[in-house]
Amino acid sequence: MNSRKVVYLFFTTLLVGSISGAIVGFILDYQVYTEGTFLNMFFGLIWLLGICAAFSLVSQMGFFAYLTVHRFGLGLFKSQKLWNYVQIIIIAFVVFDLIYFRFIAFAEPHETILHYMVMPILLLIFGLLVAYLKAKDTNQGAFIPALFFIVVITAIEWVPALTVNDPKWLWLYFTPLITANTWQILLLHRLTKPSK
């Protein structure tokens, strides 16, 4: 992978993350951005693009950190099969933690644990879909690493918003992370494919 492809990956990920996050942020606070003058909406959109670009940078750092961790895991466990089992166990722990610890920390008396299962389960389903697409485009060995990246790394990157537990910030932070992570994992093998 040459420097031109790295720059392409960086800027396209930045655009995908910032634009998707800005769209969701605008929809979530539509009243705030549309009341008043055109300048209010213009500067609001600039702010949304900027904050979501920062979140997509977090996503890119997580992506390159995962590539390092993945190589380290393969070297440590000496077998892709064993490393895949370890990743499956970590995925299960992360999904459980996203449900249980948020329930313990933030549940109101009238809420059940089911309220806190929706987002982690949707994240897992989305991760399975992305992993399927990745494996279909490359090979079956890419399924578990792609699933691990989408579920575990996205959850780690999402922690600052999870600790606040404000629905608006949960979605505003999550959208650029998940779109940027999906873009990166599905684009990487196309960029590293040898040129004909």
Tens of pLDDT along 31-85? Answer: 888 887 888 889 999 999 999 999 999 999 999 999 999 999 999 988 889 999 9
In a domain, 29, yes or no: no
More confident residue, 36 or 110: 110
pLDDT of 196 over the 60 cut = no
pLDDT class of 180 with cuts at 50, 70, 90 = very high
169 lies in some domain: yes
What does the pLDDT average to over 117-134? 96
* pLDDT value, residue 133: 96
Q: Which residue has the higher pLDDT, 196 or 176?
A: 176
Query: How many domains is the chain built from?
Result: 1
pLDDT of amino acid 60: 95
pLDDT of residue 38: 86
Judged against a pLDDT cut of 70, whether residue 3 lies above it is answered with: yes
For residue 5, being part of any structural domain is answered with no
**What H or E segment, with its residue span, contains residue 42?**
helix 38-77
pLDDT at 195 over 70: no
- The answer to whether 74 touches 80, Cβ cutoff 8 Å, is yes
d(CA 105, CA 111): 12
Tally DSSP H helices, then E strands, for the chain: 8, 0
The answer to whether residue 27 is domain-embedded is no
> Can you give the pTM of this predicted structure?
0.91
Q: Residue 110's pLDDT is what?
A: 87
CB crowding 124-140: b at 16 or more within 10 Å, else e: bebbeebbebbbeebee
Query: How large a percentage of the chain has pLDDT more than 90?
Result: 72
**Residue 15 within any structural domain of the chain:** no
Q: Is residue 155 domain-resident?
A: yes
The residue range of the domain holding 66 is: 58-192
Q: Supply the pLDDT for residue 67.
A: 92
Q: Is residue 9 situated within a structural domain?
A: no
Chain mean position to CA 48: 18
User: Out of 11-15, 118-122, 163-167, 185-189, which region has the weakest mean confidence (pLDDT)?
Assistant: 163-167
CB atoms under 10 Å from CB of 40, counted, come to: 13
Query: Is residue 137 situated within a structural domain?
Result: yes
